Structure 1
Amino acid sequence: MRTIDLLNGRLKLRHLTLIVAIAEHGSVSHAAEHVRIAQPALTRSLREVEQILGVDLFVRGPRGVQPTLFGEAFLEHARSVLAELRRAGERITGLADGEVGTVTIGTLLAGSNVLLPRAIATLKESRPGITVIVQEAPFDSQVPRLLEGDIDLILGRLNPIDDQPGLRQITLYSEPVRLVVRTDHPARGSDGLTLGDLMEFPWVLPLEQTALRQELEQVFHAEGLPLPGNRTECTSIMTVRTLLRTTDMIAAMPESLVRTDDHLVPLPIPLSTVRRSVGVTLPARGSLVPSARMMLDHLHAHAAEITDLVKAGDT
């Protein structure tokens, strides 16, 4: 027995719509009125489908037309196909409107502490159907995944990209970096505190490959000091917070993070040459998907709030 090929182009999507309409309205004439075509045209379409299938789909009865055994089987699949296409249309519409979708963010230490959680919270309030994926890793390891499309944007302290023409950056805000300790740290009782006075304490420094680490090294060098010998190198914000709260360690942290932690305070030693610019790194070409574009809008909004907070602290 031969298999009927319904993918050869003879069967049209409109055929499915019309056959389902006939079954739902119980007559060709009523179906024709519903789909707004002439009854002869609908009858002709029905005959085309029956010719393609080689079977009768309906029989006439005293109350109109009734599906045959073959008609029932075909209708089951026709309705399923039409339902899937409707769902596909709804999904595409949702993606285009930003109602659903996924945004993947590669994050660095800077930006992930205050800005990103706030932006995620407000995005999810307005668009709960959007899935947000956050992946933390050093900048250099994130760039290839950004260019390949595995992540939508990189959020954090802006790194130089002069040698990478495939990237572009948007600055969200800039703020000072402070030397931070716990509220009852012994160094807070010293008058005329200098960077050299802090060398006896343990430190938490960023990893060597980070921009902040390089700037801190320049600060120590300018003061004629080596890097602290008693140090831990770490970029995990949770680990750094815990170490600062529970030990005599010192770390360089962004001002916005200090302002949101009642257990940490800045030391009166300015790091005038260390100021972080936080922003997003994007591919130079192509446009963001709607979900990623909405995330960027929320990042802009909360970055403006942080900028106002920093300005208030500087006055």
Structure 2
Amino acid sequence: MSAADRPSIDLPKLLDGRLKIRHLVLIDALSRQGSVIGAAAELHVTQPVATRSLRDIEAIVGVELYERGPRGITPTIFGAAFTEHARAILAQLNQAGRHVVELADADRGTVIVGTHLAGSNVLLPQAIVQLKAKHPRLTVVVREGSPEALLAELEAGRIDMIVGRLTSPSTSTITRLPLYEESVEVFAGSTHPLAGAGPFSLADTRGYPWVLPGVETALRGELEAVFARSGTALPENRVEATSFLTVRELLHHTETLAVLPSLIGRGDARLTPLDVDLGSIGHSVGLTVAADRPLSPSGQALVAHLRTVAEVRLG
């Protein structure tokens, strides 16, 4: 469609009292859930109420925010843009509320951090230990999730930062701060038939079950490339998981193999690294924060201890 053919859109009057905070909360939920039913369940409202509220929002802004389909809803270009702004507003409101609390009692603040596999086993716990030693009444909330889910939480201000693998550069809205470099290795249980021997090729491991990272992770794509370069098919006998607790239990009690960050695998005496060449797979572990939202004093304190642990113990 040419510019001349596009319909004229009047500037929405978003400050005339019709747009409510609950509308912004609904937009955030709709974009994450991908369905009206899912968003309604999350917000504890009925589907008709959520549908009616969405229609109200679209009437206010004057455009369709979502494309409706048999499998749910997908944000239009307008919906994606409006979601970004809605999350920024919600994040500022969350930050404002917590800022007021910390001004009233600076030692009783709260910092909420999201984490995934890399960084969750060593970096974050050690930083929390240091932080709590100095500020015992400061509350730390740790939430685990996939990188994509945590990023949405960060954008909406429900978490202050993400600690984990950095797979993308910084953007205008997201800042990524590397703290240290970490390698990955193939691990097995200490009593595994391959333990203590080697070197092995990936083809040598084909007779054993594997735990592979989920398809949504960057590490999964890198592993698939390594298997392809070696001319070896992905293991057919496999489990896909990103939970370290699940991976660890499978390695402890079966002949399963898995690729883990070296710090995590070598920190468990019941696991052993195998001499399998994975090429140059490695990654930066660091912080992901909102570029335009300053951290609270509690968040700044945790970041300082994360940097100390990374420099003194992991660097």
What range is the shorter-chain TM-score in? 0.5 to 0.7
One of 99, 103, 109 as aligned partner of 1:92: 103
Partner of 1:122: 130
How many residue pairs were aligned?
217
Q: Check the 8 A contact 1:180/1:250 in 2, yes or no.
A: yes
CA gap of 1:190–1:89, structure 2 versus 1, over 3 A, is: closer
Q: Percent identity?
A: 40
Q: How does 1:243-282 map to 2 (within 5 A)?
A: 243-282=250-289
Q: Distance in 2 between matches of 1:270 and 1:283?
A: 37
CA contact (8 A) 2:201 2:277 kept: no
Counterpart of 1:144? 152
Distance change >3 Å, CA 256–CA 288, structure 1 → 2: same
Q: Structure 1 residues 217 and 306, CA, compared in 2 at 3 Å: closer, same or farther? A: farther
CA offsets 1:85-120 (integer angstroms, 9 cap, x no match)? xxx99962642xxx2200000111111111111111
**Cα deviation, residue 144, structure 1:** 2.2
Q: Name the aligned partner's letter for residue 166 of structure 2.
A: L
Change (3 A) 1:131 1:187: same
Q: For the residues of structure 1 that align with 2:274 and 2:265, how far apart are their CA atoms? A: 11
Instruction: Please report how far the alpha carbon of residue 295 of structure 1 lies from its aligned counterpart in structure 2 after TM superposition.
Output: 0.5
Q: Contact 1:123 / 1:295 at 8 angstroms: preserved in 2?
A: yes
1:212 is aligned to: 219
Displacement of 1:147 in angstroms is: 1.7
Select the residue among 198, 204, 220 that pairs with 1:197.
204
Shift of 1:259: 2.3
Specify every segment of 5 or more residues in structure 2 that has no aligned partner in the other structure, as ranges.
1-98
Q: TM-score, normalised by structure 1?
A: 0.65
SS in 1 for 2:255: coil
CA–CA separation in structure 2 for the residues paired with 1:196 and 1:246: 23
In the TM superposition, what whole-angstrom CA distance separates every residue of 1:204-252 from its partner, at most 9, and x where no partner exists?
A: 0110000111111111011011111000000111111111111100000
**What does residue 182 of structure 2 align with?**
175
1 CA distance for matches of 2:147 and 2:153?
Answer: 10
1:8 maps to which residue?
Answer: none
Tell whether the 8 Å contact from 2:199 to 2:276 is kept in structure 1 after alignment: no
Which residue number corresponds to residue 195 of structure 2?
A: 188
Give the whole-Å Cα distance in 1 for the aligned partners of 2:189 and 2:101.
Answer: 53
In structure 2, the CA distance between the partners of 1:212 and 1:134, relative to structure 1 (3 Å rule), is: same
Amino acid at match of 1:199: R
What is the alpha-carbon distance in structure 2 between the residues aligned to residue 161 and residue 91 of structure 1?
Answer: 32
SS of 2:206's equivalent in the other structure is: helix
- Structure 1 residues 268-294: Cα deviation after superposition (integer angstroms, max 9, x where no partner): 113232102111101111311000011
Whole-angstrom CA distance in 1 between matches of 2:191 and 2:137 = 45
Residue 241 of structure 1 aligns to a residue in which SS? helix
Q: Pick one of 244, 249, 252 that aligns with 1:237.
A: 244
Choose 1 or 2 for highest CA Rg.
1
* Range that drifts further, 173-182 or 298-307: 298-307
Match of 2:172 among 162, 165, 190: 165
In structure 1, the partner of 2:79 is none
Aligned with residue 109 of structure 2, among 101, 109, 112: 101
1:131 equivalent in alignment to 2:175:
no
Q: Superposed, which structure 2 residues align to 1:26-41 within 5 Å?
A: none
User: Residues of 2 paired with 1:290 and 1:148: CA distance?
Assistant: 19
Q: Is the 8 A contact 1:219 1:273 kept in 2?
A: no
Contact 1:256 1:306 in 2 (8 A): no
RMSD value, Cα = 2.0
Q: What pairs up with 1:280-299 in 2 under 5 angstroms?
A: 280-299=287-306
Q: Which runs of 5+ in 1 are unaligned?
A: 1-87, 309-315
**Distance apart, 1:256 and its partner CA:** 0.8
Question: What is the deviation of 1:190?
Answer: 4.7
Give secondary structure in 1 for the equivalent of 2:286.
strand
Give the drift of 1:301. Answer: 1.1
Matched, 1:222 2:233: no
Q: Is the 8 A contact 1:155 1:280 kept in 2?
A: yes
User: Structure 2 counterpart of 1:112, which letter?
Assistant: S
SS in 2 for 1:123: helix
Q: Give the corresponding residue for 2:33.
A: none
Amino acid corresponding to residue 149 of structure 1 in structure 2: G
